[in-house]
Structure 1
Amino acid sequence: MAIIQKPGWFYYEKDGERLGEVSYLKAAHNQVLVLNHTYVDPSLRGQNIARQLVDAVCDLARSQGQKVQPDCRYAAALFKRYQEDYADVALEDGPKANSCSI
């Protein structure tokens, strides 16, 4: 699996086709990464690709001493389900966390 990082994005690409992605915005003077969108192609769902993409953002935040605010329903659910895995970077859900489509 190839996860590629671009400013504001991590994405999974296979054979030149983007099949999964997570996007984030920087907030609070670059101290917070706001996860605002997660998508994985239906053919790849259930393979933990979305979690790996979210984890890539969290690893970036850890390496830069930042926090992560889930403003996407998938990320918010992931942070709640695995609180211990994200406790060091997690902030409260953003205002759109319950309305973002998966």
Structure 2
Amino acid sequence: MDTITYNAINNAVTTVPGVKSLANYESQDIWDLETKDIAKAVEIVSSGSIHRVKVHVILMNGFNIRDVVNEVQIRVKYELEKLKQFTMSYSVDVVVDDLQMI
């Protein structure tokens, strides 16, 4: 995946109210989970005509988790499809790796 695509995902995720940060899905240490490197927070699997994207996030306490996850899915899917001029389909999964008190 290229830098433009990663930037689009990053902008879509970090602007959603309730998202504290991206999460490093490879981290084994809960204290080292937060990351600013989008490549460590996004897993991509391409199979046929549908491309599957899994985004790992850390959410803030006090927000409706379901609403935040739904909004992340909608925004990431739209931004990815817009980049490809709506010629490709994407399936977006959001993984909540942690919930932090602010």
TM-score normalised by structure 1 residue count:
0.40
Q: As a proportion of its length, which structure holds more helix? A: 2
For normalisation by structure 2, the TM-score amounts to 0.40
Greater length-normalized contact order (CA 8 Å, ≥ 6 residues apart): 2
